[in-house]
Chains A and B, each alone.
Chain A
Amino acid sequence: MKIRVTERQASDMKNYDIVIIGGGPAGLAAAVSAKKSGIDSILILERDKELGGILNQCIHNGFGLHTFKEELTGPEYAQRFIDQAKELDIEYRLNTMVMDISHEKVVTAMNREEGLFEIQAKAVILAMGCRERSRGALNIPGYRPAGIYSAGTAQRLVNMEGLMPGREVVILGSGDIGLIMARRMTFEGAKVKVVAELMPYSGGLKRNIVQCLDDYGIPLKLSHTVVDIKGKERLEGVTLAEVDQNGKPIPGTEEEYSCDTLLLSVGLIPENELSRGMGVEMSRVTSGPVVNESLETNIEGVFACGNVLHVHDLVDFVSEEAAAAGKNAAAYVRGERSAEGGREIRLSPVDGVRYTVPVSINTARMDEELTVRFRVGAVFKNCYVSAYFDDERVIHRKRQIVAPGEMEEIRLTKDQLLKYPDLKTITVKIEEA
Chain B
Amino acid sequence: MEIRNLTCISCPMGCQITVEMDGNEVVSVTGNTCKRGDVYARKEVTNPTRIVTSTVRVIGGKADMVSVKTKEDIPKGKIFDCVKSLKGVEVEAPVHIGDVIVPDAAGTGVDIVATKNVERA
Contacts and interface: CB of A to CB of B under 8 A. Distances in A.
Given A160-B64, A215-B76, A400-B33, A59 B53 contact: yes
A73 B9 contact: no
B43 interface: no
Nearest to B76: A215
B7 A56 contact: no
Interface stretch (A142-150, A239-247, A325-333, A401-409): A401-409
A79 interface: yes
Contacts of B103: none
Given A59-B115, A187-B83, A209-B14, A160 B65 contact: yes
Given A73-B69, A76-B115, A405 B7 contact: no
Interface in B29-84: 33-34, 50-55, 57, 63-65, 67-69, 76, 79, 83
A209 B7 contact: yes
A79 B115 CA distance: 9
B13 A401 contact: yes
Contact of B57 (A56, A162, A205): A162
Interface residues of A, number: 32
Interface centre among B34, B50, B52, B54 (most CB of A within 10 A): B54
B12 A206 contact: yes
A402 B13 CA distance: 8
B116 interface: yes
Contacts of B13: 206, 381, 400-401
Interface in A320-362: none
Contacts, number: 78
A41 interface: no
A37 interface: no
A95 interface: no
Interface string A389-430: 000000000001111011000000000000000000000000
A206 B11 contact: yes
A405 B65 CA distance: 31
Contacts of A406: 12
Listed from nearest, the 3 A-B pairs whose CB atoms lie closest are A59-B67, A75-B116, A207-B9
Given A59-B68, A210-B6, 13 more contacts: A59-B55, A59-B67, A61-B53, A73-B53, A73-B69, A79-B116, A158-B55, A160-B63, A206-B11, A210-B7, A403-B12, A405-B12, A406-B12
Interface of A: 56, 59-61, 71-76, 79, 158-162, 187, 205-207, 209-211, 214-215, 381, 400-403, 405-406
20 contacts: A59-B67, A59-B68, A59-B69, A59-B115, A61-B51, A73-B67, A73-B69, A75-B97, A79-B97, A159-B67, A162-B55, A162-B57, A206-B8, A206-B11, A209-B7, A210-B6, A215-B50, A215-B76, A401-B12, A402-B12
